[in-house]
Amino acid sequence: MPWTVNDVDRHKKGMSLGSKKKWTRIANAILDDCEKGKGKVGPTGSCEGKAISIASSKTGPKRKLSDWVLSNYIKEDN
């Protein structure tokens, strides 16, 4: 289930459009990797839960994306 910016408010409120875009990129990339078996499933036992949790922890007010997240999950738009 790929997420769009319209889905973000159901998971985390109060983010700017730019933060919502970052959230969707991170969540969708982690979901894709997890479903392909490239990562461990989170404590909820689902790839969706893992993706939502990580994306929410890395975006939003007072949060900065680490270089690791930027290099591993966010691909620049061309």
Tens of pLDDT, residues 27-53: 999 998 888 887 666 555 688 888 998
Flag whether 5 is in a domain: no
Enumerate the H helices of 1-78 as residue ranges. Answer: 17-35, 47-58, 67-73
pTM of the model: 0.70
Query: What does the pLDDT read at residue 78?
Result: 40
Residue 57 structural domain: 14-73
13-25 mean pLDDT: 90
What proportion of the chain, given as a percentage, has pLDDT over 90?
27
Flag whether 3 is in a domain: no
Flag whether 4 is in a domain: no
CB atoms near residue 78 (< 10 Å): 3
Flag whether 35 is in a domain: yes
Q: Which of 38-65 are b and which e, b meaning 16 or more Cβ less than 10 Å from the residue's Cβ?
A: ebeebeeeebbebbbbbbbebbbeeeeb
Counted domains in the chain: 1
